[in-house]
C-alpha cells in the first residue's frame, strides 16, 4: 500500500461502502501509518482509508494536528450508535473536496463504537467539534461526502467547475 495521493471528488471510488477490517494485521498497520502521514502533511484533522485508495473501514483523526505533541487517534470499524441534538458545523471542509467549504448541519453529540488499532473495543461519547469530525469521517465509510449535506448554488458551481477541469484533463469518471 503505497498510494500517497488523496482521491478527490467526484471520483466514484469515494462512493462505496467500505468493508469491515477482519484482521488488524501488518498491512492494516501500514495503511494506518500512511493515512497518518498524509493527514499530518496535508494538514487535516481527519482522514478515512477510502480517501487514500483503501476500501477498508478505518479512520484516523487528531483534532489539534498543529500541536507539537501529536495525539493520533485510530478507529477501526467505527459506527455511530446514537446521535443527539443539532449543531452547525461552520465552514466544514474535506481533503477530498479541495477548495470548497460550507456550513453543515450535524448532530451535536454522538456515541461511537469501534476498535482501536490493537483491536480493543472503544466507546466514544463526543460532542461539539470532535462529534463533527467523527460524523464526517464515518460518513466517508458509507460513501457520503460532506457536500452531500449541502444544498446551495455555491456547491452547484463548484461541482460544475471540478467536472469541467476533469474533462480538460481527459479523465473519465
Ligand atoms: Ni473528508
pLDDT value of position 168: 87
What pTM does this model have? 0.93
Ligand 1 center from residue 97 Cα (angstroms): 7
Ligand 1 center from residue 123 Cα (angstroms): 22
Question: Is 92 annotated in the active site?
Answer: no
Ligand 1 center from residue 68 Cα (angstroms): 23
Q: Which helix (H) or strand (E) holds 37?
A: helix 26-41
Of the chain, the end-to-end C-alpha distance in Å amounts to 23
Ligand 1 center from residue 50 Cα (angstroms): 10
Q: Is 6 within a domain?
A: no
CB 41 within 8 A of CB 70: no
Ligand 1 center from residue 46 Cα (angstroms): 7
Pairwise CA distance, residues 53 & 172, whole Å: 17
Q: Is 3 within a domain?
A: no
pLDDT value of position 66: 85
Per-residue pLDDT tens over the stretch 42-78:
999 999 999 999 999 999 999 998 888 899 999 999 9
What's the total number of domains in the chain? 1
* Other C-beta atoms lying within 10 Å of the C-beta of residue 105: 10
Pairwise CA distance, residues 70 & 2, whole Å: 23
Domain of 116, CATH number, reads 3.90.45.10
Q: Is 98 within a domain?
A: yes
Dihedral over Cα of 70, 31, 38, 154: its sign: negative
Q: Cell numbers for 66, please give them.
A: 498543529
- Of 48, 49, 89, 41, the C-alpha closest to 65 is 41
Q: Cell numbers for 129, please give them.
A: 467539534
Per-residue pLDDT tens over the stretch 101-128:
999 999 999 999 999 999 999 999 999 9
CB 136 within 8 A of CB 149: no
Q: Is 1 within a domain?
A: no
Q: Is 16 within a domain?
A: yes
Domain with 31 in it: 12-169
Q: Is 4 within a domain?
A: no
CB 74 within 8 A of CB 156: no
Amino acid at each position: 500500500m503505497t498510494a500517497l495521493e488523496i482521491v478527490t471528488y467526484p471520483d466514484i471510488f469515494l462512493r462505496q461502502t467500505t468493508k469491515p477490517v477482519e484482521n488488524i494485521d501488518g498491512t492494516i498497520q501500514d495503511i494506518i501509518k500512511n493515512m497518518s502521514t498524509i493527514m499530518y502533511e496535508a494538514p487535516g484533522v481527519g482522514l478515512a482509508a477510502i480517501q487514500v485508495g483503501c476500501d477498508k473501514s478505518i479512520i484516523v483523526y487528531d483534532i489539534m494536528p498543529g500541536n507539537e505533541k501529536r495525539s493520533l487517534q485510530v478507529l477501526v470499524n467505527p459506527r455511530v450508535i446514537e446521535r443527539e441534538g443539532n449543531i452547525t458545523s461552520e465552514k466544514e471542509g474535506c481533503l477530498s473536496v479541495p477548495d470548497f467549504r460550507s456550513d453543515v448541519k450535524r448532530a451535536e453529540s454522538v456515541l461511537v463504537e469501534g476498535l482501536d488499532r490493537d483491536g480493543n473495543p472503544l466507546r466514544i461519547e463526543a460532542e461539539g467539534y470532535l462529534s463533527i469530525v467523527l460524523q464526517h469521517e464515518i460518513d466517508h465509510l458509507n460513501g457520503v461526502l460532506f457536500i452531500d449535506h449541502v444544498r446551495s448554488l455555491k456547491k452547484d458551481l463548484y461541482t460544475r467547475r471540478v467536472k469541467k477541469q476533469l474533462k480538460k484533463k481527459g479523465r473519465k469518471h
